[in-house]
């Protein structure tokens, strides 16, 4: 058994009594009450999910296993000669709550390599889809197609389900799936946008390095990929992609069914697709100006025109955060310290939007959070490094998001979280509760 799996087994054994005690002895303790606004308004703020993998504070932003983004990046083992940490080490951290040593990290690197081969039938599925299918539809189809290889489902069908040990099958599925996501993403990219000419994996590289290699991207894109995947990994389990994954897995569906569902949620423009929308918006706007940067007045007009036409300003606002997303700040800092990128016109435009949009959103008076989220900045970096096909950006997000969602559902299984089933009420019931006659 790998070190990671052994440590995970021990952590699960230690954690289980806490969950059991809470349910048995304190199950009736009230956490908060739902309002009519929350029932109609997307269950915003209702505390009814549990995860220890990450926590999102409205003012501070994300903490991964208790650590802020800068603390996380500083703590994790770095790829020799590179500036960003191993994605594999981050996976170990999210799974176990422990910062791995270099040795433990390299064990995961090798484990992922041994599981990373894309099955031939997945290539067939991808090639059978119309070439103009959205890359997220392709990505989701590829994940779903691999369900036939689920260890959990085949053991379940063979009558081998055991509530105490079934997390191990989920762990195997989660790791098998995680190891294949980056190669699948790169395959979709090259098939759709690079004349269908593919690059074989380089067995000497880590996940981030290999992804850059298979995409056909030179350094420092490998570090960009590592940073991007880590930053997009998780944001508590309440966001649409993580919640959809958790919800589907709660029916004892396997990791493939569950994460395909998560990817489908991520493909919505109010969620992960916002990074594509940001680029579409900024590119269209710059095109209208003949490639020039706008004046502040022109920018204000364009932002107001978007709002007045009933659309949202993509990359701004958040369901939980009430300040600038630290993931935005991290990427902005990356741009500011990268020669060439800091003076790049698209980055300048994104910075101008950062200076302008919050005031406009405040004046508009609707958005509870006028500040940028992760998606406002991520596309610029991709564009700068030559990945200009912005409809692909959410696939990058989806590779990263799995690093959070898959450990989450492994722990869901380990702690025996129940099938999810919130209660519905009728509109008449709400009217009665409100005292409306
Ligand atoms: N532009 C214009 N209006 C906005 C807005 C924005 N960026 N953000 C919120 N609003 C509006 C909402 O549409 C809502 O209007 P209605 O009352 O007419 O329905 C009102 O302000 C209140 O919304 P809220 O409570 O502030 O925000 P929600 O929790 O309902 O929604 C969203 C959060 C992220 C979906 C929202 O801010 C939004 O649509 N932003 C733009 C799209 C985007 O950037 N999405 C990515 C978010 C981060 C993420 O998940 N990445 O994957």
Q: Counting atoms of ligand 1 from 1, which one is nearest the CA of 368?
A: 26
Protein residues with CB under 6 Å of any ligand 1 atom: 44, 239, 270-272, 274, 307, 312-319, 366-369, 373-375
Measured in degrees and rounded to the nearest 5, phi and psi for residue 208 equal -65, -45
Can you tell me the mean pLDDT for 51-60? 95
Q: Counting atoms of ligand 1 from 1, which one is nearest the CA of 376?
A: 44
Report which protein residue has its CA nearest ligand 1's atom 34: 318
The angle formed by the CA atoms of residues 131, 132 and 136, to the nearest 5 degrees, is: 95
Residue 437 pLDDT > 90, yes or no? no
Give the CATH architecture of domain 1-288+396-432.
Orthogonal Bundle (1.10)
The predicted structure's pLDDT at residue 33: 85
Determine the distance separating the centroid of ligand 1 and the alpha carbon of 381, expressed in angstroms.
23
Distance CA 256, CA 249 (A): 9
Report which protein residue has its CA nearest ligand 1's atom 18: 366
Residue 31 pLDDT > 90, yes or no? no
**Positions of E strands within 72-123:** none
- Residue-wise pLDDT for 124-150, tens only, equals 999 999 999 999 999 999 999 999 999
Determine the distance separating the centroid of ligand 1 and the alpha carbon of 277, expressed in angstroms.
13
The predicted structure's pLDDT at residue 21: 94
Burial of 132 (0-12, 13-18, 19+ CB in 10 A): exposed
- pLDDT class of 15 with cuts at 50, 70, 90: very high
Determine the distance separating the centroid of ligand 1 and the alpha carbon of 429, expressed in angstroms.
28
Q: Model-level pTM?
A: 0.95
User: Catalytic residue numbers?
Assistant: 271, 318, 375
- Residue-wise pLDDT for 347-360, tens only, equals 999 999 999 999 99
Distance CA 399, CA 70 (A): 21
Q: Counting atoms of ligand 1 from 1, which one is nearest the CA of 44?
A: 29
Determine the distance separating the centroid of ligand 1 and the alpha carbon of 61, expressed in angstroms.
17
Sorted by where each begins, the domain ranges of the chain are: 1-288+396-432, 289-384
Topology (CATH) of 289-384: Cytochrome p450-Terp; domain 2 (1.10.230)
Can you tell me the mean pLDDT for 290-296? 92
Report which protein residue has its CA nearest ligand 1's atom 27: 319
Give whole-number Cα distances, 290 to 279, 287, 324, in Å.
16, 5, 30
């Amino acid at each position: 058994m790998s070190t990671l799996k052994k440590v995970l087994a021990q952590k699960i054994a230690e954690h289980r009594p806490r969950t059991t005690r809470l349910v048995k002895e304190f199950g009736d303790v009230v956490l908060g009450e739902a309002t009519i606004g929350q029932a109609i308004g997307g269950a915003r703020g209702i505390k009814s999910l549990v995860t220890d993998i990450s926590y999102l504070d409205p003012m501070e932003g994300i903490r991964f296993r208790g650590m802020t983004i800068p603390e996380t990046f500083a703590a994790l083992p770095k790829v020799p000669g590179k500036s960003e940490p191993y994605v594999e080490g981050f996976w170990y951290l999210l799974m176990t709550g422990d910062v791995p040593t270099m040795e433990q990290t390299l064990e995961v690197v090798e484990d992922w390599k041994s599981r990373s081969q894309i099955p031939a039938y997945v290539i067939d599925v991808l090639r059978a889809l119309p070439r103009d299918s959205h890359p997220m539809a392709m990505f989701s189809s590829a994940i779903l197609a691999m369900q036939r290889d689920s260890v959990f489902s085949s053991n379940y069908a063979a009558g081998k389900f055991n509530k105490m040990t079934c997390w191990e099958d989920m762990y195997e599925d989660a790791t098998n799936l995680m190891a294949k996501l980056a190669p699948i993403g790169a395959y979709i990219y090259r098939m759709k946008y690079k004349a269908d000419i593919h690059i074989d994996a380089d067995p000497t590289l880590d996940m981030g390095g290999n992804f850059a290699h298979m995409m056909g991207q030179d350094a420092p894109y490998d570090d960009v990929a590592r940073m991007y995947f880590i930053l997009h990994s998780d944001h508590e389990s309440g966001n649409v992609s993580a919640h959809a994954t958790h919800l589907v897995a709660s029916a004892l569906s396997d990791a493939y069914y569950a994460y395909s569902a998560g990817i489908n949620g991520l493909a919505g423009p109010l969620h992960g697709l916002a990074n594509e929308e940001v680029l579409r918006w900024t590119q269209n706007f710059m095109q209208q100006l003949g490639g020039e940067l706008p004046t502040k007045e022109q920018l204000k007009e364009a932002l107001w025109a978007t709002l007045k036409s009933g659309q949202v300003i993509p990359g701004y606002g958040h369901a939980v955060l009430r300040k600038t997303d630290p993931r935005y700040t991290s990427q902005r800092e990356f741009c500011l310290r990268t020669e060439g990128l800091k003076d790049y016109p698209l980055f300048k435009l994104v910075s101008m939007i950062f200076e302008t949009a919050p005031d406009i959103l405040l004046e508009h008076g609707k958005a509870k959070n006028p500040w940028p989220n992760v998606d406002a900045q991520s596309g610029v970096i991709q564009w700068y490094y030559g990945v200009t096909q912005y409809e692909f950006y959410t696939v990058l997000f989806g590779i990263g998001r799995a690093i959070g969602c898959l450990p989450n559902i492994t722990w869901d299984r380990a702690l025996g979280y129940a099938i999810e089933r919130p209660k519905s009420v009728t509109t008449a019931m709400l009217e009665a509760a409100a005292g409306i006659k």
